[in-house]
Amino acid sequence: MSAALFIKNAATDRKQIALTFDDGPHPVFTPQIMDLFKKYGAKGTFFVTGQHVEQYPEIASRLLEEGHEVGNHTYSHPRLKETDPESTKEEIERTEAIILDATGFKTTLFRPPFGSYNEKTLEIIADAGYQCILWSEKQDTKDFSMPGTDRIVDQVIGNLQNGDIILMHDSSEDPVCNREQTVEALTILLPWFEEHGYECVTVSKLLDK
């Protein structure tokens, strides 16, 4: 397994970080996040599932229109470490086609659901022309578990380093979910980043792609 096949952070002296969101788009929380990002001039990367892009193609299009980045997060959110190779390929290719149809955009970034992968998964991802994007070791906010707004904020700020890729969620594999704490945390984090000179950029910009 080659370390070049996945990325957890960027080696940079610049005060740049990447806020990333998994499992969307969501009809309520993704637009709220975009509105906050617009207010603070921030950009994010959204790893979307094919089934949710099918449901909300206009939100996926809006993400790109407002300068955010979209990544492939499979169609149905399986644990790829437990998925056979043909099904993994189908998950990736089906989602790629859906994103392209909805937005006209061909993404080159992929994040495995649950961070679940094995050596064969990484080979399939690379063969499909994608770079596997994970997250920085101490920047899994676990916001999906509703730990409390302050805990999400403290997790990010207390461990922040230049080049961090921060994991958050704007939806879940089940669209019946609550991401209010994520949105609330961003109302604190985004002005803090601005005050302390951090620029929130897309993963591709963070990696100078």
Active-site residues: which are they?
A: 22, 169
Measured between its terminal Cα atoms, the distance across the chain in Å is 23
Confirm if 109 and 130 have CB atoms less than 8 A apart: yes
The residues pairing with 133 across neighbouring beta strands, listed in sequence order, are 7
- CA distances, 105 to each of 41, 77, 131 (Å): 22, 21, 16
User: Contact 92/124 with Cβ under 8 angstroms?
Assistant: yes
